Homo-oligomer: A and B are copies of this chain.
Amino acid sequence: MIHFDSDYLEGAHPEILRRLMETNMEKTSGYGTDIYCEEARKKIRKVCNCPEAEVFFLMGGTQTNATVIDAMLSRTEGVIAADSGHISIHEAGAIEASGHKVLALPHENGKLSASAIEKYIENFYDDGNHEHMVSPGMVYISHPTEYGTLYTKKELEEIRIVCHRHEIPLYLDGARLGYALVAKNTDITLEVITSNCDAFYIGGTKVGALFGEAVVFTKPNKIKHFLSIVKQHGALLAKGRLLGIQFDTLFDNNLYFEISKNAIEMADKLKKIFEEKGYKFFLKTPTNQQFIILENEKMKQLSEKVTFSFWETLDENHTVVRFATSWATNEEDVEKLRQIL
């Protein structure tokens, strides 16, 4: 059996484990106050070219989204997101559990457009009853999106302009950010993200870490008592250095970018194989997730030899499935897949 069902099937990049070993018996203070966290923060500020950025380390994506969104919204505000966004669907109501409505707009291949956001906000304020409605308090986008697609620099800037016009912050979910940054033909860099977003997170769980997400607030002193909010959300790791060591390693010598490239290369091979074999794409993307349309019979056969994930039912006889590569995908498995297909 070979596995393409997700990008968090393995543990961590070996260098991370090596450093966890190396530092294991050191004694450090807890909750992110240690030198490894501090070192990782420095490196992230540098790679973002944002010396004043505030950086925090949390454990997982849902936790990070729930904590950051809760911190950024007042209690009568909601968060605008694509209806395909992770917070809209796959977080078991974590956003609502902290009291906030997700204001879901229709997605276009996983993306939100500046004009759709603008129109939503304008309609909201046109409504004489808007005090009886949840006001749009921030915008959430994913990059890459849940569909593996990417924003362009121009699109991101347009969204930022709309947000700033209406004085609401822009937050970018970077669960798979590495795979976006090293994709071909993208003009979005960490610096571009930093200068357009008020907050974002750099995903570790899906890009080389055992677990962990690095939250970056690009404008200092905006969120008061964020550490207490993190603690209240149960998201403050006692041995915070575990996160510091991981991100310090990932941002040492460009490791984060280097290992991300593997996912893109393997995805390119995958795409080529699917094309050669005549498979139909539901969506061919520049990142590590590819969406294929399978006949149900074929799907059943394939699933005996390879894992992939169910995406959605297309029609009675066809299903959309997702194949994901990662920093850890190896050529051998891709080759096996070719033979199976």
Contacts and interface: CB of A to CB of B under 8 A. Distances in A.
Interface of A: 3, 5-6, 8-12, 14, 17, 20-21, 23-30, 59-64, 66-67, 70-71, 74-76, 78, 89-94, 96-102, 123, 126-129, 131-135, 205-206, 210-211, 224-225, 227-229, 231-239, 242, 309-310, 313, 328
B21 A97 contact: no
Given A76-B93, A210-B242, A237-B60, A228 B131 contact: yes
Mostly, the A contact residues are loop
Contacts of A62: 231, 234, 236
A321 to B, nearest CB: 11
B225 A239 contact: no
Given A11-B25, A93-B76, A99-B99, A239 B205 contact: yes
A313 B74 CA distance: 29
Given A231-B91, A233-B234, A23 B11 contact: yes
Most buried by B among A12, A64, A93, A205: A93
A132 B228 contact: yes
10 contacts: A8-B238, A10-B25, A20-B210, A74-B224, A91-B231, A92-B134, A93-B134, A96-B99, A127-B310, A211-B238
Contact of A231 (B92, B232, B234, B310): B92
A96 B310 CA distance: 29
Given A17-B20, A91-B132, A238 B205 contact: yes
Contacts of A3: 27
A121 to B, nearest CB: 15
B25 A75 contact: no
B132 A74 contact: no
A135 B76 contact: no
A305 B313 CA distance: 54
Contacts of A64: 234
Given A91-B132, A101-B96, A60 B211 contact: no
A67 B126 CA distance: 27
Given A205-B239, A231-B62, A17 B11 contact: no
Contacts of A63: 234-235
A92 B76 contact: yes
